[in-house]
């Protein structure tokens, strides 16, 4: 089964202050369905810094797909800009 057991996800943004949730899926999610039962919530929170790491609760399960779902904008803001996302996983 392809995939990795992600331990943490780092988000870099020029404008912090927004909220998100992190999900993982082992199979291809349907393009026209949200929420979908294939997604498992792994973490989330408020992006408070320009570079912030979030721990993932994978239960030692390998996921092929990872998703950052934006749930709240910074007050007074109309959008979120993500500069870079890095997934951290142990070497196999």
Rounded to two decimals, the pTM is 0.91
| pLDDT tens track for 18-67 | 999 999 999 999 888 878 889 999 999 999 999 999 999 999 999 999 99
- In this structure, what token pair is assigned to residue 26? 């082992």
* 32 vs 70 pLDDT, higher one: 70
**pLDDT for the residue numbered 1:** 59
Residue whose structure tokens are 């993982």: 24
pLDDT at 91 over 80: no
Task: Write phi, then psi, for 22 (nearest 5 degrees).
Answer: -115, 135
């Amino acid at each position: 089964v392809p995939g990795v057991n992600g331990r943490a996800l780092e988000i870099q943004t020029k404008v912090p202050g927004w909220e998100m949730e992190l999900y993982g899926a082992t199979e291809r999610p349907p393009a026209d369905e949200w929420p979908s039962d294939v997604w498992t919530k792994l973490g989330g929170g408020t992006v408070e810094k320009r570079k912030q790491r979030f721990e993932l609760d994978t239960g030692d399960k390998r996921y092929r797909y990872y998703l950052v779902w934006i749930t709240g904008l910074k007050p007074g803001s109309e959008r979120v800009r993500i500069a870079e996302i890095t997934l951290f996983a142990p070497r196999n």
